[in-house]
Amino acid sequence: MILYNWDTQLWILLDIIIACTLTGLIGYEREADNKPAGFRTQMIIGGASAFLVALSEVAVQYYTKSYGDVVDADPARIMQAIIIGISFVGAGTIIKAREDTTVRYLTTATTILFSAGVGIAVSLKQYILAVGVVLIVLFINRGLRSLK
């Protein structure tokens, strides 16, 4: 049972550390390019996403054990809430200059959404997918830079 099991909680903590590490790579790339939402921000977003998904699993088990069929728990709602909340963080990084039509930091805002997705993937034990997505984001941001 996940509720009171110390080793399961340690595995969840390890998932959070993995999510922070992977999203830290994305943040490092952004920070190296002097963009907002750098190393620490991306790590916190990825770790928080993994943490919230893991807590949703615990909450489902808790409510099922405590209340049976009275409470209908849906962990997908947690993921929806994460994506909506992170979208506000991303929107806060986007700047549009008044003088022209240039929109700045849009790529950084989208990496924030990817970092949330990486955290969710790690929490759902989708490690290969999470690593693959990080590599894709790094390739897009660094490898395709000349195609601006």
Instruction: Encode pLDDT of 63-91 as tens digits.
Output: 777 777 766 667 788 888 899 998 888 88
Whether residue 14 lies inside any domain: the answer is: yes
User: Model-level pTM?
Assistant: 0.83
Other C-beta atoms within 10 Å of 67: how many? 11
Whether residue 49 lies inside any domain: the answer is: yes
Whether residue 64 lies inside any domain: the answer is: yes
Whether residue 48 lies inside any domain: the answer is: yes
Whether residue 148 lies inside any domain: the answer is: no
Tell me the residue range of the domain where 91 lies: 6-143
Which helix or strand (DSSP H or E) is residue 96 part of? strand 95-96
- pLDDT computed for residue 60 by the predictor: 80
Partnered with residue 104 across adjacent β-strands are: 95
Residues of the chain falling short of pLDDT 70: 1-4, 70-73, 96-98, 148
Indicate the number of domains in the chain: 1
Whether residue 60 lies inside any domain: the answer is: yes
Whether residue 46 lies inside any domain: the answer is: yes
Whether residue 1 lies inside any domain: the answer is: no
90, exposed or middle or buried, with CB in 10 Å at 0-12, 13-18, 19+?
buried
